[in-house]
Amino acid sequence: MDERKRIIVIGGGFAGLQFIKNIDSALFDVLLIDKLNHHQFQPLFYQVATSQLEPANISFPFRKIFQKKENLKIRMADVESIHSEKDCVETSIGTFSYDYLVIAAGCKTNFFNNQNIEKNAFTLKSTFDSISIRNHVLLLFEEYISSKGSEKEAILNIVIAGAGPTGVEMSGAFAEIKKNILPKDYPGIDFSKLKITLVEGSPNTLNSMSTNAKSASRKYLIDLGIELKTGITVLDYENNLVKLSDGSEIKARTLIWAAGVTGNLIDGINPEIIMRGNRLKVNQLNLIDTYKNIYALGDIAYMPTSKYPNAHPQLANVAINQAKNLAKNFNRKIKSKEQKEFEYKDLGSMATIGKHKAVVDLPRFKFKGFFAWYIWMFLHLMLILSTKNKLIIFINWAWAYVTKDTSLRLILNNPKKAKKVS
Neighbouring C-beta atoms of residue 166, cutoff 10 Å: 23
Tell me the site size for ligand FAD, rule CB under 6 A.
34
* Minimum distance, C-beta of residue 175 to ligand FAD, in the bound complex (Å): 17
φ/ψ of 382, rounded to 5, equals: -65, -35
* Minimum distance, C-beta of residue 384 to ligand FAD, in the bound complex (Å): 12
Bridge partner residues of 366 (DSSP): 361
* Minimum distance, C-beta of residue 345 to ligand FAD, in the bound complex (Å): 14
> Could you say which residues in the range 113-142 bind ligand FAD, by CB under 6 A?
124-125
> Could you say which residues in the range 228-257 bind ligand FAD, by CB under 6 A?
none
The verdict on 167 binding ligand FAD (CB under 6 A) reads no
The verdict on 166 binding ligand FAD (CB under 6 A) reads yes
Q: Which is nearer to ligand FAD, 55 or 298 (CB)?
A: 298
CA dist 143 and 146 (Å) reads 6
The verdict on 105 binding ligand FAD (CB under 6 A) reads yes
Q: Which is nearer to ligand FAD, 382 or 402 (CB)?
A: 382
In three-state secondary structure terms, 295 is: strand
| 318 contacts 342 by C-beta, under 8 angstroms | no
CA distances from 75 to 79, 92, 355, 417 (A): 10, 10, 40, 30
Q: Give the nearest residue (CB) to ligand FAD.
A: 13
Bridge partner residues of 57 (DSSP): none
Residue 126 makes CB contacts below 8 A (sequence gap 6+) with 36, 40, 45
Out of 15, 140, 282, 384, the only residue in the binding site for ligand FAD (CB under 6 A) is 15
Nearest alpha carbon to residue 125 among 301, 316, 257: 257
Q: Which is nearer to ligand FAD, 265 or 334 (CB)?
A: 265
The verdict on 52 binding ligand FAD (CB under 6 A) reads no
379 burial type by CB count under 10 A (0-12 exposed, 13-18 middle, 19+ buried): middle
* Minimum distance, C-beta of residue 264 to ligand FAD, in the bound complex (Å): 4
Bridge partner residues of 209 (DSSP): none
| 232 contacts 244 by C-beta, under 8 angstroms | yes
Q: Which is nearer to ligand FAD, 45 or 98 (CB)?
A: 45
The verdict on 47 binding ligand FAD (CB under 6 A) reads no
304 burial type by CB count under 10 A (0-12 exposed, 13-18 middle, 19+ buried): middle
Q: Count the helix, strand and coil residues of the chain and give each as a percent rounded to the nearest 5.
A: 35, 25, 40
Out of 23, 42, 182, 220, the only residue in the binding site for ligand FAD (CB under 6 A) is 42
Helix (H) or strand (E) holding 34: strand 28-34
* Minimum distance, C-beta of residue 265 to ligand FAD, in the bound complex (Å): 9
Out of 7, 9, 12, 303, the only residue in the binding site for ligand FAD (CB under 6 A) is 12
| 353 contacts 220 by C-beta, under 8 angstroms | yes
Out of 36, 274, 285, 411, the only residue in the binding site for ligand FAD (CB under 6 A) is 36
* Minimum distance, C-beta of residue 183 to ligand FAD, in the bound complex (Å): 27
CA dist 230 and 369 (Å) reads 22
The verdict on 165 binding ligand FAD (CB under 6 A) reads yes
The verdict on 34 binding ligand FAD (CB under 6 A) reads yes
Q: Which is nearer to ligand FAD, 28 or 257 (CB)?
A: 257
> Could you say which residues in the range 188-227 bind ligand FAD, by CB under 6 A?
none
Q: Which spans of this chain sit near ligand FAD (rule: CB under 6 A)?
A: 10-16, 33-36, 42-43, 45, 78-79, 104-107, 124-125, 165-166, 264, 266, 298-300, 314-317, 319
